[in-house]
């Protein structure tokens, strides 16, 4: 599966909800696929345009090993390529997308979210 193409089944319900009440929309994915040994990976990570906050998105393995952390992402921004700090060996891993949310004026931390997904690392 190409991680840049995510089907609707892979999004969480929170991603599909409207942001009319000031809630933060958090995208979720069932699975991402990375190429083994490659620091650069193709992804489709984003901050929905209806949010009123910045995101920092981190990818962690279940043991809290951090593979990636983004810079601040404004609403409507996306990442299609990322550079990993560590490259896991081929296999299937339980992993977490950590969304840290920040106020757009003060950069004060807001509520965040951790969403679980399967990371498949292939040759």
Q: What is the pLDDT of residues 23-50, one digit of tens each?
A: 999 999 999 999 999 999 999 999 999 9
pLDDT, residue 96, reads 98
pLDDT digits (tens, 9 = 90+) for 78-90: 999 999 999 999 9
Give yes or no for residue 13 having a pLDDT over 60. Answer: no
pLDDT, residue 22, reads 73
Would residue 17 count as lying in a domain?
A: no
pLDDT digits (tens, 9 = 90+) for 66-113: 999 999 999 999 999 999 999 999 999 999 999 999 999 999 999 999
Number of domains in the chain: 1
Give yes or no for residue 16 having a pLDDT over 60. Answer: no
Q: Which domain holds residue 40?
A: 25-118
Would residue 20 count as lying in a domain?
A: no
Would residue 31 count as lying in a domain?
A: yes
Would residue 40 count as lying in a domain?
A: yes
Q: Which residues contact 2 (CB under 8 A, 6 or more apart)?
A: 33, 42
Give yes or no for residue 18 having a pLDDT over 50. Answer: no
3 pLDDT tier (thresholds 50, 70, 90):
very low
What CATH code is carried by the domain that includes residue 56? Answer: 2.60.40
Give yes or no for residue 1 having a pLDDT over 90. Answer: no
Would residue 61 count as lying in a domain?
A: yes
pLDDT, residue 7, reads 33
């Amino acid at each position: 599966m190409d991680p840049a193409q995510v089907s609707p089944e892979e999004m969480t319900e929170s991603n599909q909800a409207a942001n009319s009440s000031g809630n933060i929309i958090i995208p979720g994915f069932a699975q991402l696929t990375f190429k083994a040994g490659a620091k650069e990976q193709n992804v489709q990570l984003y901050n929905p345009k209806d949010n009123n906050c910045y995101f920092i998105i981190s990818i962690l393995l279940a043991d809290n090993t951090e593979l990636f952390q983004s810079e601040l992402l404004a609403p409507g921004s996306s990442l299609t390529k990322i550079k990993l700090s560590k490259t896991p060996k081929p296999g299937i891993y339980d992993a977490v997308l950590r969304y840290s949310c920040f106020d757009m004026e003060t950069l004060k931390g807001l509520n965040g979210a951790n969403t679980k997904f399967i990371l498949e690392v292939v040759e």
